[in-house]
Amino acid sequence: MGKELVILFLLMSGGVAAFIWLYLRQPQFGRLPAGSYLKKLEASSHYVNGQFKNLLPTPMLVEDTSLISSLAKFVLAQRERPVPNEPVPSAKVDLLTLDSRQDMVIWLGHSSYFLQLGGRRILIDPVFSSYASPVSLVNRAFAGANPYAPDDMPGIDCLLISHDHWDHLDYPTVMALQSKIGQIVCPLGVGGYFSQWGFAPECIHEGDWFDRVEVAEDLAVELLPARHFSGRLLTRNRTLWAGFALLAAQRRVYYSGDGGYGPHLREIGDRFGGFDLAIMENGQYDQRWRYIHMLPEEVAQAAVDIRARAVLPGHTAKFALANHPWDEPFRRITAASQDKPYRLLTPVIGQPVLLDDKEQPFSHWWETIR
């Protein structure tokens, strides 16, 4: 009987291992860089000892916190209102009929944005799935926070992907958009996912920090440093992460991507002489991992550092990836922005922000939800 149990255990273990192996072979996970493609990445000055590195030493956690204790505290912590009790308010406009000559940005929830700049249409980090993880039961979207779908998108001149985390690079979304995407701009290594997923090589432009991609005659995108990390599974930092400067004929827009506060932000402001609009990460933070995600007060200072004239905060109101109350990022960035030299923009998801309208009103909509 003991021998039979051992055989049964080995068969079950083998079956589980085979299932995991097959599951991880799904295209959404991608494959790690290898061969000549890996050598291309290794040529970057930011690739050191098999990984991409930040400009500054950037531990995942503050120095006095161990990974195990931090994870235990995160899992066992009593969470206060991580998800709203009512649907998140949103608006939905017909993007297919918009006048492309009208400069605007539409927050699509979390870190997804649709922009029109100088007649070009740009899509940033789109996630239209109802979850942000490898499995559908984890990181579910808030009710009401996902009003747009791939079919709602017009032709996209440029798709920007800041890094390969699940809440920024969503396989079902990009595959559904494939026929609508003209050019793709992404950091080193992230283009490998699109190659594996069947996108034409000539439309994929991946670069290092401070590389510039001329998307069109009147639109350039420069990849910029961010203080973060990458990885879709357990292997980290085999692809790069970045923010972006969008440089149109009449306007400059900054997108922070994900990342902690650092001196690179002031250097970006000096490099470009300021931005008409800064789209900033503001959510999913924790004091224990402040090196890789800014606290709202740091977001406010970062906006000053880069000399933003207007700030649109995001990375919140759709997924609960941290333990803070779902509306706390809005409350804290609003308070931190009171004495700052920029205008804080707080649209509901899906509401067009008209970049020529300096008086467009926005409400504190989060205050109306429990």
Query: Cα 142 to chain center, whole Å?
Result: 17
CB 230 within 8 A of CB 163: yes
| Cα 325 to Cα 284: distance, rounded to the nearest angstrom | 10
| Cα 241 to Cα 227: distance, rounded to the nearest angstrom | 8
- Count CB atoms within 10 A of the CB of residue 77: 10
Pairing of strands 204-207, 181-187: parallel
CB 203 within 8 A of CB 237: no
The average confidence (pLDDT) of the chain is: 91
| Cα 305 to Cα 295: distance, rounded to the nearest angstrom | 15
Query: Cα 356 to chain center, whole Å?
Result: 25
Q: Encoding tokens for residue 306?
A: 């880069």
CB 311 within 8 A of CB 275: no
Q: Which CATH architecture has domain 95-368?
A: 4-Layer Sandwich (3.60)
Provide the residue ranges of all domains of the chain, joining segments of one domain with +.
Answer: 95-368
Query: Cα 241 to chain center, whole Å?
Result: 10
What is the per-residue pLDDT across 150-200, written as a single tens digit (0 to 9) for each? 999 999 999 999 999 999 999 999 999 999 999 999 999 999 999 999 999
| Cα 156 to Cα 181: distance, rounded to the nearest angstrom | 5
Grouping H, G, I as helix, E, B as strand and the rest as coil, residue 13 is helix
Average pLDDT over residues 74-102: 89
User: With bands split at pLDDT 50, 70 and 90, how would you rate the model's confidence at 28?
Assistant: confident
Give the predicted TM-score (pTM) of the model: 0.93
For the CA atoms of 36, 41, 44, 50, what is the dihedral angle to 10 degrees?
A: -110
What is the per-residue pLDDT across 338-352, written as a single tens digit (0 to 9) for each? 999 999 999 999 999
What is the per-residue pLDDT across 274-318, written as a single tens digit (0 to 9) for each? 999 999 999 999 999 999 999 999 999 999 999 999 999 999 999
Ordered DSSP codes for 78-112: PPSS-S-SSPPPB----GGGS-TTS-EEEE-STT-
> CA dist 172 to 70, 96, 140, 201, Å?
32, 21, 15, 20
